[in-house]
Amino acid sequence: MANISYKDAGVDIDAGNNFVEAIKSDVKSTFDKNVIGGIGSFAGAYALPTGYKEPVILSATDGVGTKLKLAIESNKFNTVGIDLVAMCVNDLICNFGTPMFFLDYYATGKLVPENAKDVVAGIAEGCRRSECSLVGGETAEMPGMYANDDFDLAGFAVGIAERSEMDTVSNVKEGQVILALPSSGVHSNGYSLVRKLFFDKLDMSLDSDFQGKPLVDTLLEPTRIYVKEFKANRDKITALAHITGGGIIENLPRVLPEGMRAQVSKESIKTLPVFDFMSDYIDEEEMYRTFNMGVGMVLVVEGENVEDICANTDAYVIGAMIKGEKGVDLI
């Protein structure tokens, strides 16, 4: 009986090594002055930034969900890495954390180096947009665990915050103004429902025309990253809420103290065409409990800061804080 190798079992070590070489330039493009060492060690090293009185380390982890199925089916892999970074760093800034570095985990049934390189290029682009360094990652080739074309992603972001700035909940008061920063699209939540509607109920395809371009382009539009807007306006922001799964209704209360209620005007929300279209087939309540509806990040601010923030960003007013049971009124 002939001997067998790891490659016979479905794992190509040489392909993995070639992949690592291929991504080095993208990874290095994200490095800042605090990165210690290079690529290939057992762990990534990052020097703590100076200037903090009581520095607190924050961490966030997330994935991309079934949006990955669309990337696989369309053979477009260069945007989901941006989604991966966005879902993590957008959470960090809600605790007033500045992203420092990022790590990724890429698991697949069979490593296709050119596809994986596109994914990592997207991750690197997400890191550049969020001004954090990609200091490490792991690629796992697991035949039998995943079908050959399938893969999954997980991301891990680490940030730093001043301890005194982290307690944003207690700073939310009656009369403060609620601002919306627009989303770039569906972002990375609700894709099981998206796929059910477009492809099962409406029998559309990835190439179907939607608003003058292929549907897949709209559905794979990467999640917007709000780090730069946060950094530019942090001294004028009272609280932030990243609007992900659960929508405004479930995410905004996470930054509210007891006895404070958010009153949000639905008419003020600038919904995107993709949500307007889906609303013809999905109940309004379900839409607002599943999707961001065009609002990717909510800012709670003092009235005196509204004009400056809106001048510096594309933020706009959607409501105000009132006294009442903790929660959200969509009026």
Q: Are 195 and 101 in contact (CB under 8 A)?
A: no
Q: Are 160 and 56 in contact (CB under 8 A)?
A: yes
Average pLDDT (99-113) is: 94
Q: What pLDDT does residue 12 have? A: 74
Q: Quick: pLDDT tens for 230-273.
A: 999 999 999 999 999 999 999 999 999 999 999 999 999 999 99
Give the three-state DSSP class for 320: strand
Is pLDDT at 1 greater than 90 in this prediction? no
Domain CATH code at residue 179: 3.90.650.10
Instruction: Select the more confidently predicted residue: 12 or 261.
Output: 261
**Cα 162 from chain centroid?**
23
Which residue range is the domain that position 210 belongs to? Answer: 169-330
Say yes or no: 180 and 310 in one domain: yes
Q: What pLDDT does residue 173 have? A: 97
In a domain, 8, yes or no: no
Mean pLDDT of the chain: 94
Q: How far apart are CA 175 and CA 152, in angstroms?
A: 44
Say yes or no: 152 and 177 in one domain: no
Q: How far apart are CA 122 and CA 77, in angstroms?
A: 8
Number of domains into which the chain is organized: 2
47 by Cβ neighbours in 10 Å (0-12 / 13-18 / 19+) ranks as exposed
Q: Provide the total of helices (H) and of strands (E) in the chain, helices listed first.
A: 11, 14
Average pLDDT (110-124) is: 94
Assign 16 a pLDDT band (cuts: 50, 70, 90): confident
Q: Which of 29-43, 63-77, 239-253 is least confident?
A: 29-43
Q: Are 111 and 14 in contact (CB under 8 A)?
A: no
Q: What pLDDT does residue 149 have? A: 83
Domain CATH code at residue 113: 3.30.1330.10
Q: What pLDDT does residue 290 have? A: 96
Q: Are 65 and 175 in contact (CB under 8 A)?
A: no
Say yes or no: 96 and 109 in one domain: yes
Give the strand pairing for 295-301 and 239-242.
Answer: antiparallel
Say yes or no: 183 and 128 in one domain: no
Is pLDDT at 41 greater than 90 in this prediction? no
Give the three-state DSSP class for 8: coil
Q: Are 159 and 99 in contact (CB under 8 A)?
A: yes
Quick one: what percent of the chain has pLDDT higher than 90? 86
DSSP lists the bridge partners of residue 134 as 102
DSSP lists the bridge partners of residue 320 as 177, 263
Q: Quick: pLDDT tens for 135-165.
A: 999 999 999 899 878 999 999 999 999 999 9
In a domain, 313, yes or no: yes
Say yes or no: 182 and 135 in one domain: no
**Cα 311 from chain centroid?**
25
**Residue carrying structure tokens 């209360």:** 253
Q: Which of 125, 143, 165 is the last residue of a domain?
A: 165
Average pLDDT (62-91) is: 97
DSSP lists the bridge partners of residue 136 as 103
CA angle, corner 307, sides to 301 and 313, nearest 5? 85
Q: What pLDDT does residue 13 have? A: 72
Q: Which one, of 57, 56, 65, 58, lies nearest residue 87 by Cα? A: 65
Q: What pLDDT does residue 250 have? A: 96
For the entire predicted model, the pTM comes to 0.95
Assign 8 a pLDDT band (cuts: 50, 70, 90): low
Q: Which of 116, 148, 165 is the last residue of a domain?
A: 165
CA atoms within 13 Å, Cβ hemisphere of 130: 35
Q: Which of 165, 181, 200 is the last residue of a domain?
A: 165
Q: What pLDDT does residue 9 have? A: 63
Which residue intervals of 186-239 are DSSP H helices?
A: 191-195, 215-219, 227-233
Quick one: what percent of the chain has pLDDT higher than 70? 98
Assign 324 a pLDDT band (cuts: 50, 70, 90): very high
In a domain, 3, yes or no: no
Q: Are 285 and 331 in contact (CB under 8 A)?
A: no
